[in-house]
Structure formats: structure tokens, C-alpha cells
Amino acid sequence: MNVLLIGSGGREHALAWKLAASPLLTKLYAAPGNPGMAGEAELIPLDISDHEAVCAFCTGKKIDLVVVGPEAPLVAGIADDLRRMGIKVFGASKAAARLEGSKGFTKDLCARYGIPTAAYGRFSDAETAKAYVRQQGAPIVVKADGLAAGKGVTVAMTEAEALQAIDDCFSGSFGAAGVEVVVEEFLTGEEASFFCLCDGTTALPFGTAQDHKQVGEGDTGPNTGGMGAYSPAPVMSPDMVSRTMKEIIEPTMRGMAEMGSPFYGVLFAGLMITQSGPKLIEYNVRFGDPECQVLMMRLKDDLLVLLEAAADGQLSHMSARWRDETALTVVVAAKGYPATPLKGSVIRGLDGAASDGVEVFHAGTSLRDGQIVANGGRVLNVTAMAKTAIEAQRLAYEAVDRIDWPEGFCRRDIGWRAVDREKRAGVS
């Protein structure tokens, strides 16, 4: 099969790595891709917002399947445009991508189908939103409705913070994403990421993970896209997975189909595991980044077969098998991230960093005069797999330390929750 992978981050490098291992693959293209993937894919400098150009490329190169990594092209309708041209695609339609593109849409779906989530209100003006905050009190959570690159959420510990967040949204800090605001109940518990592959009708459970959103050790400082992740998430016991499927995922699949926008692609549920069970914090319509990197390390089956089955509506015949090991990824970011990452510094020592059980996935890198340089906030994902989280963490940091990049930094405590759990259980 000829496959086109859309995207350029660490998530896409991990997908390229796994797709390249498929015996069914003839040729993999990545648009635009990154230099780390050059061993697995031919990099194509396509403007992915130009859907016509993407369709023309697919026709010209006889592409059998397009795999869309990031959410922005899905929200912009790339899957619809490809399907209209008769090109097979793994990814959500524009209508289904509202699960990520509009928090209000998802909350209303939850209300209609009895899906457990935080109590909420939707507001299109500041005064009514503020009145709701005053009535509910703090802590409380304020969210810009639309896509805000992970920055539109304020978990407000005081009423004043919540009121300020409302003003920020309506004053245009998040552009069009903030013209509507969701205010919701503050949930307590342990967070987990849960993934399913979906074919319009069937949702196939596709792994669990936990990530670290905050930039600083001990989960402190500003939120980021994710500074590291590990899989599986110990809190997602078989019972919790089956409750999540029954109470959250299945009603969502039913609801989307009933609304005329059946869900295809990756459904990524951000969950809070509360005392009363799993509650939905948010949906994404793509793999998590960096969660995808740890899932790909653990997946035993052929990814290409599974993604094609999802695109063909054939998932009810499929299963996904996982290695028992723990995979853990450490994000190495450019100094200054998340505010103003320094670009252009040279990264050395990459060839010697990977080893048995360790992969270095590239995220924000580019090639300059034959050297790999930093070209983004999150730059490398050093990913290890081992029998325990303790061992995976050790292997990952040993590999990080083989990389020579003084302008980069990482958190040194990725996986602490899983590591603590193992230590308490006497694992060494």
C-alpha cells in the first residue's frame, strides 16, 4: 500500500515508525514530516491546508490510505475533502471533529446521552458567565469553546481568577476560540488518557496512558502540550476500561451516528477517574502527543491493518494486542518553552542515543547544513520500554543524557506516579 501521513510532530514520527514496520507498506510519504522520519518516509513539502493540493498528490501517487495526525486539518475538513475524491482516509470528518473543536458541542452531547462529565454552563457573554461563577463559587474551570492550542483552559482556585479568565476569553486572547465560554465544575481524582480506534459504528479500545501537562517537576508551572507520558495508565484497570466503554465511549458513538456524523478515526478521551467512576474531561479526535509515542512502542499488531480496517468500517473483526511492558517517553524541549522556545541550536549525539528498547522520535527539528537543529518548543521524544516503569524511566533518562544539546531541557520526573506505585508495591 502507498500511504500518506499528514503532520510533522513526534506523534507522526512514532506513527511513521510503526507504519514502516508493516509488511503491507509499499511506500510511505509524510507531509510535511520532519527530518527524524526521513528513514521511514519520503518527506513532501505540501501545504496541508491546501486540500486540493493534498488530493492531487494522492491521486498522482496512487495513495491507498491517508492517515491524518493532527486535529487542525480534521477540523478544517480534510477527511471530507479526501473522501469526496474517493481517497481512503483514517481520520474524523469535519462534523465529527466538533468533539474536539467545540467544547460546548461535546458538553451538550454528554447531557443528551447521560455521559458522565463535569456539570457546566455555556455562555456567549461575560456577564452571564460571571453570574454563573458567582453562583457556583470556586474552585471552578473556565474554558474557551474552540481550539486554543491547549491554552484555553483555566482551572481557577479562586472566584477572582475565574472572572479574570472569562474576561480574557471575551477580550479575544484566544481569538475565535473564545467567542463562547464553557464554565464547569472542578473535578478531583486521577487523570488518564483513553484511546479508541473508531469506524463509524465500532470503537476498539486502543490503549491507555498518562501524560504530564505542566512544564515543571512535581507537576508545577504553566501547562504545555505534554512534557512526557507513559503507558499503560495503572489507574485504568480492566473494570475501569469497561465502565469507560459502556458509560462514555459507546453512547458517544451512538450519539454521533444518530446525529448523522458517525465517528471515524481516533477518539481520545481525557478522563478524570473520580470516586464515583470515570468522567469525561474532554475529547480529542487524534492521538495524543506524546501519548502516541508510548502506544506505538507497545502495540504488537500491524498498525496499517488496523487503520485501514477503521477507514473501511471493519473494526468489529479486529483486536489490538499490547506488550505487557511499560513504555515511557521524555519530551526534550527547547529552553524557553512553553512561552518563547529558542530556535536554531544544534543537537548532537542523536545517533548514539537510541538503543535496544529505546527510540528517539523527532518533534520540532529541522535540517540545516546537514545538522539537526531545534525548530519548535517540544523537540525530541526519548522513548523507552521495559518490564517496569522504574526501568523504563531509567533507560529513557540514560538515553537523554547521551544527547548533546545544552539548549534543551526536560523534566526529570516523568512517570513519577507509576514509579511511586511500583515502589510502594515493592518493585525494584
Nearer to ligand GLY, 182 or 294 (CB): 294
- Which residues ranging from 123 to 142 are in contact with ligand AMP (CB under 6 A)? 141
When asked if residue 270 is in the footprint of ligand AMP (CB under 6 A), the reply is yes
Question: Per rule CB under 6 A, is residue 291 in the interface with ligand GLY?
Answer: yes
Choose the contact partner of 191 out of ligand AMP, ligand GLY, none; CB within 5 to 8 A by kind: ligand AMP
| Alpha-carbon dihedral sign for residues 292, 405, 212, 101 | negative
Nearer to ligand AMP, 186 or 409 (CB): 186
One residue of 33, 226, 278, 341 binding ligand GLY per CB under 6 A: 226
Interacting partner of 187 out of ligand GLY, ligand AMP, none (Cβ under 5 to 8 A depending on kind):
ligand AMP
Burial 372-407 (b: 16+ CB within 10 A, else e): bbbbbbbbbbbbbbbebbbbbbebbbebbebbebeb
**Interface pick for ligand GLY out of 36, 146, 288, 415 (rule CB under 6 A):** 288
Q: How far is CA 49 from CA 6, 9, 122, 400, in A?
A: 11, 16, 30, 34
Taking CA atoms, 123 is separated from 139, 145, 253, 349, in Å, by 18, 9, 26, 51
Cβ distance 378 to 31 under 8 Å?
A: no
Give the Cα separation of 156 and 163 in Å (integer): 9
**Nearest-approach distance from CB 216 to ligand GLY, in angstroms:** 16
Q: Measured between alpha carbons, how far is 325 from 11 in angstroms, rounded to an integer?
A: 20
Q: Does 70 bind ligand GLY (CB under 6 A)?
A: no
Contact flag: residue 8 with ligand GLY (CB under 6 A): no
Bridge partners, residue 195, by sequence: 268
Q: Is 343 exposed, middle or buried (0-12, 13-18, 19+ CB in 10 A)?
A: middle
- Using DSSP, how many helices (H) and how many strands (E) does the chain show? 14, 22
**CB nearer to ligand GLY: pick between 63 and 333:** 333
Question: Is position 377 an interface residue for ligand GLY (rule: CB under 6 A)?
Answer: no
CB of 317 to ligand GLY, least distance (A): 29
What CA–CA distance (Å, rounded) separates 30 from 319?
27
Q: Which of residues 199-238 bind ligand AMP (CB under 6 A)?
A: 213
- 226's contact among ligand AMP, ligand GLY, none, with CB below 5 to 8 A by partner kind, is ligand GLY
**Cα 104 to the center of its chain, rounded Å:** 20
Choose the one of ligand GLY, ligand AMP, none that binds residue 289, judging by a C-beta under 5 to 8 angstroms depending on kind.
ligand GLY
User: CA 268, CA 251: separation in Å to the nearest integer?
Assistant: 15
Binder of ligand GLY out of 100, 211, 308, 413 (CB under 6 A): 211
- Residue (12 or 291) nearer to ligand GLY, CB: 291
Rounded Cα distance, 203 and 199, in Å? 7
Q: Which is nearer to ligand GLY, 90 or 123 (CB)?
A: 90
- Cβ proximity to ligand GLY, 75 vs 373, nearer residue: 75
Binding piece for ligand GLY, criterion CB under 6 A, among 154-162, 286-294, 349-357, 419-427: 286-294
State in angstroms the smallest separation of the CB of 270 from ligand GLY.
7
The residue number whose beta carbon is nearest to ligand GLY equals: 226
Q: Which of 265, 288 has the CB closer to ligand GLY? A: 288
Grid cell for residue 235: 489507574
DSSP letters for 211-280: E--EEETTTEEEE-S-SEEEES-TT--HHHHHHHIIIIIHHHHHHHHHTT---EEEEEEEEEEETTEEEE
# chain residues binding ligand AMP, by CB under 6 A: 14
Nearer to ligand GLY, 241 or 294 (CB): 294
- Could you identify the residue written with the cell 469506524? 199
Considering only residues 150 through 189, tell me which ones interact with ligand AMP, judged by CB under 6 A: 150, 153, 155, 184-187
Which one of ligand AMP, ligand GLY, none interacts with residue 64, CB within 5 to 8 A by kind?
A: none
Of 266 and 374, nearer to ligand GLY (C-beta) is 266
Handedness of CA 408, 416, 15, 360 (dihedral sign): positive
Interface contacts to ligand GLY, rule CB under 6 A: 211, 225-226, 284, 288-289, 291
Interface contacts to ligand AMP, rule CB under 6 A: 118, 141, 150, 153, 155, 184-187, 191, 213, 270, 281-282
